[in-house]
A and B are shown apart, each in its own frame.
Chain A
């Protein structure tokens, strides 16, 4: 372990019954970086993220957080170090943005005295101060996506896990989300970010882990990946196709 290493995934293996989703996945995530998790459909990105988040517990291999064994599925204190932004809009549409944030702040253990400040900060991050007391059902898709992100970061976790957080949003909201994520990195947050979109990963991520068929086939900066693929200077899409092949993939 290096001093800067926040999370280490070591030889992780997970199967849904007979179907293996992640096999021998190994990677590390450094403190304060944005690590992109890139891969075709069915590569195992979401499964890997779910193992790290504690949503899946029956995996082989090991997780370490700051060098210590990490078992979020069974340990609430371990989960408190994580923030999670799922692919779905995991919000209560009948509640307002403020009510959603207050609820999740309580469940994340944000102290009552600091809750209002945390909620105001989250609303500012999402750019929703003026609509804070409107029901989420009345929001546009982009507003919901921004709130979805803000809920995940509400308790200032050490590591924020983002599972394709920009699905189905317009360019303006996507741009706002990018700025939010970069702002979080400036604050020292560490992020693991899964996506299909090359330009997103290229723009946001410090390092990229490419997954294919349940394995991490390459990890490094864009330039390091290009070198590894034998295509120095090539854009990420060409490197990605070189590393993962051109055959069509199906979602599991």
Chain B
């Protein structure tokens, strides 16, 4: 037979086989569709969508309560890169409350607009602003700095540049008299720019060149740290200095995701047992039939626990993530996640009729859960719609990440309510998944 004729026959045979397993085939088609949808949505919201900028969460409390301070907070809400909390109309927490939020890891930046803000703005003096922040969140800190300047400039109705420059020079060690001279000079510059922008002095323009009018923001955005804001760093003292947020995120995220893939491979040994005939032999043995499923669970759980501890040990060795600072918490979280990921794998294995179905569905669910659960990038930057928030909280990976990030980044012990909640949700899943797996196991494997 000719080469191409033979090849076509082989391809036809494989296609016929592929189409025969309808569920496996659908999963193969659904997988890329689901991934494109989920990643597209997450990227859109996480990285700013149309605005092209990620949004940073900033808690704000206004202790001044003047028209100027309210205008400033309103201007903050208008800044594209900030997501100001609480939302408009919701009573703001106290300065102590927002400080606690940062200390507890529930927020990474909080701004306290102090009493006298309105008066300071009116007099062109430094406004009392206190930024409480987690110093490890460097990227967010820069974005907040830029956002603050935009809001200050907007609140100063475009005339804030002179006093911002004067203030900056004062902080650089310039005398009061010198700072005032800078301010006066900047006033002159600002007036000139405004005359140029307003077309008051046509001779300032190049002949034949159309020039867009510079705004206050365009000038100011060159200096992200221009706003004179007092900074208060709040971070757990035990956190390793070498640990950055992105590093902690990726070590935890990749570990959580890869464990699911690893345990999926272990779980499908159940299907291998069926295909190679050993399952029938085991079912005829004296062993209780529950023991077969339980044995598989124990196998996967043990492998998972070993993998987790090895990955964390490696992360500690290479990056100094502080994984073994609190061994008990590490063990509690690792045991919990290993059990939850195992239950997930077992559920898929007893549901699937073929290895192809199991692999297709597992890949689909694991990648989607990893993206939505924050394994790949921090979802704190994402301005997700409410339904997406619900979906992310419904993923198993979200709760695993919540636990591991609580331990790595916020240096919490497993007795902390945040970690306890994460652990409880995962064990809840273990119970439900185990019950479902048992029912499916009985129906699929024992009910002949």
Contacts and interface: CB of A to CB of B under 8 A. Distances in A.
**In the complex, which range does the number of interface residues on chain A fall in?**
20 to 34
Contacts of B284: 53-55, 72, 79, 82, 84
Given A55-B283, A104-B285, A107-B282, A90 B448 contact: no
A104 B286 contact: no
B66 interface: no
A104 B277 CA distance: 14
B448 A80 contact: no
A152 B278 CA distance: 11
B289 to A, nearest CB: 8
Contacts, number: 57
Interface string B200-243: 00000000000000000000000000000000000000000000
Q: Name the residue in A79, A87, A152 with the highest tally of chain B Cβ atoms < 10 Å from its Cβ.
A: A79
A89 interface: yes
A80 B285 CA distance: 6
A90 B447 contact: no
Interface in A6-34: none
Contact of A76 (B281, B288, B446, B448): B288
Interface string A54-86: 111110000000000000110011011010101
Contacts of A58: 447-448
A107 B286 contact: yes
A90 to B, nearest CB: 4
Nearest to A47: B448
A82 B281 CA distance: 11
Contact of A79 (B276, B278, B285, B447): B285
Interface in A101-151: 104, 107-109, 151
Contact of A90 (B278, B287, B288): B278
B276 A107 contact: no
A56 B448 contact: yes
A76 B285 CA distance: 7
Contacts of B288: 76
A152 B281 CA distance: 8
- Most A-side CB within 10 Å, residue of B277, B281, B287, B288: B281
Interface string B265-280: 0000000000011101
Contacts of B277: 86-90
B448 A108 contact: no
A71 to B, nearest CB: 13
Contacts of A151: 281
Interface in A144-167: 151-152, 155
Interface of A: 50, 53-58, 72-73, 76-77, 79-80, 82, 84, 86-92, 104, 107-109, 151-152, 155
Given A54-B284, A55-B283, A88-B277, 12 more contacts: A55-B284, A56-B448, A76-B287, A79-B284, A79-B285, A79-B286, A87-B277, A88-B280, A90-B278, A90-B280, A107-B287, A108-B285
Interface of B: 276-278, 280-288, 446-448
22 contacts: A54-B284, A56-B448, A58-B447, A58-B448, A76-B286, A76-B288, A77-B286, A79-B286, A84-B281, A84-B284, A86-B277, A88-B276, A88-B277, A89-B276, A90-B276, A90-B281, A91-B278, A92-B278, A104-B281, A104-B285, A107-B287, A109-B286
